[in-house]
Structure formats: structure tokens, C-alpha cells
Amino acid sequence: MTQRVAVVERITKVNDQIAEANRARLEQAGVFGLNIMASPGAGKTSLIERTLPRLTERFRVGVIDGDIATSLDAERAAAAGAVSVQINTGGACHLDANMIAQALGSLPLEEIDLLIVENVGNLICPTGFQLGTHRNVLVSSVPEGDDKPYKYPSSFSRMDVLLLNKIDLLEVSDFDLARFRHGVEVINEQMAFFPLSCRTGEGLEAWVDWVVSQVEGARAGR
């Protein structure tokens, strides 16, 4: 057990070092990065599709899509107006900093203002690996239930932003929004929270405004 812990610690340390190099690379190119995580079906790709048309009016956007197989998500991002790169992990349940480092070499960073990383659909594994982005975003959804912050506290604690998708289903579900919010606030009261629906568009403008403020704030701070 001690040896296994030591190996895990070494892997994490090396990953974090590469993540720091990735962030430096992004900052040198003037790129702000978001890492978007979620369980399968929560709506990461739909969120990106609905967000991109609004963001590309103001910024040049690149997308790195992580998936176990296929290039479907990258194709959807490209169709929505972004420069996109697909990473197929070959079975791995998350992206890591080394994968991102390789993908960055395939992107014209000097022509991008905002980089969106769509991580592999998994609520647990991706949250343990820093990629070098500036903000970590978690997408949860009403059909998943209001108990997720209680069952997976470590995943929620590492996020800068939480999006609750599919709020158009609140009226036809037993999802307790107050219980969900309480669980989130106990874990991470500083985390920004945006309830929204990718299907109806409700709440999307507040999310887009937040992204715009982050990118412009990073520019102002340079």
C-alpha cells in the first residue's frame, strides 16, 4: 500500500509540473483556458455548442475535446465555430496534462483568445488531474439527482464554477434545488453557480457573461 501511494504521488507531481508548463504556454500566447468536466450525458458538448456562437462574436476560440473514442464532439465544436482538436484517450477515463501539452502543439495558439477543454465524461477521475487551464468548470444536471454534492464532495470542492443543466426538467422531477445548493455551499461556498438549460437557453446569458468577464479580466491583468 505504501508503495502504491508513492507511485500515485509521483504521477500526480509530474502531471502538475506539466500542467504548470501548459499554463505558462497559454499565458505567453495570451490564451485563457477553461477545463469543463461532467458525468456522461450532463450536457458538456451541448453547453459548448450553445455557448460558442455567443463567444465567437467577441473572441477567437479553440476547443480540445477528450473522449475515449470517436471525433464526434470535436466535429460539433468545429461546426459551432471553433478551432478544434480531438484527443482519444484509448480507454483512459480522464485527460491529463501531458495529453493537453501534445494537443496544444496542434493548435494555432497565437490565433486563439479562449481555449475550452471538454474533458472525458466522468465525475471522478478528471477532477484529480490539473491540465494547466485557468478555471475548472463542473456541469451537473437535474436528471442526475440532487445528491451529487453529498456523494462526490471532492469533485465539487475542486471547481471554480458549477453549472446546473436541464433546469427545464425541475417541474417534472423530484430534484430539490435547495438541498443541492446547500450541499454545494457546504463544500465550496466560493464557487460560482449558474442554473441553466441548454435546450431552452434559459440562464445561458449569465454563464456567457461570466466567461467574457474572465477572459477580459485576464487580458487586463497582463
Task: For 162-196, write each residue's pLDDT tens digit.
Answer: 999 999 999 999 999 999 999 999 999 999 999 99
User: What pLDDT is stored for residue 90 in this prediction?
Assistant: 80
Arithmetic mean of pLDDT, 148-157:
95
Arithmetic mean of pLDDT, 108-113:
96
User: What pLDDT is stored for residue 195 in this prediction?
Assistant: 98
Euclidean distance between CA atoms 174 and 59, whole angstroms: 39
Query: Which residues neighbour 95 within 8 Å (Cβ) at sequence distance 6 or greater?
Result: 64, 66, 87, 89, 117, 119, 120, 126, 129, 131
CATH code, domain with 92: 3.40.50.300
Is the pLDDT at 219 greater than 70? The verdict is: yes
User: What pLDDT is stored for residue 67 in this prediction?
Assistant: 86
Is the pLDDT at 134 greater than 50? The verdict is: yes
Is the pLDDT at 1 greater than 50? The verdict is: no
Q: What percent of the chain has a predicted confidence (pLDDT) above 70?
A: 92
Instruction: Region of 166 please: left (phi>0), alpha (psi -120 to 50) or beta.
Output: left
User: What pLDDT is stored for residue 9 in this prediction?
Assistant: 64
Q: 131-168 b/e with 16+ CB inside 10 Å = b?
A: bbbbbbbbbbbbebbbebbbebeebbebbbbbbbbbbb
* The residue count for the chain: 222
Q: For every residue of 166-203, which 3-state class applies, written as one string?
A: CHHHHHHCCCCHHHHHHHHHHHCCCCEEEECCCCCCCC
Is the pLDDT at 16 greater than 60? The verdict is: yes
User: What pLDDT is stored for residue 8 in this prediction?
Assistant: 56
Sign of CA dihedral 167, 171, 172, 176: positive
Give this prediction's pTM.
0.90
Is the pLDDT at 79 greater than 80? The verdict is: no
Q: 90-110 b/e with 16+ CB inside 10 Å = b?
A: eeeebbbbebbbebbeebebe
> Domain limits at 147?
2-220
Identify residue 54 by its one-letter amino acid code: R
Query: pLDDT band at 71, cuts 50/70/90?
Result: low
Euclidean distance between CA atoms 147 and 180, whole angstroms: 7
Give how many domains the chain has, as a whole number. 1
User: What pLDDT is stored for residue 68 in this prediction?
Assistant: 73
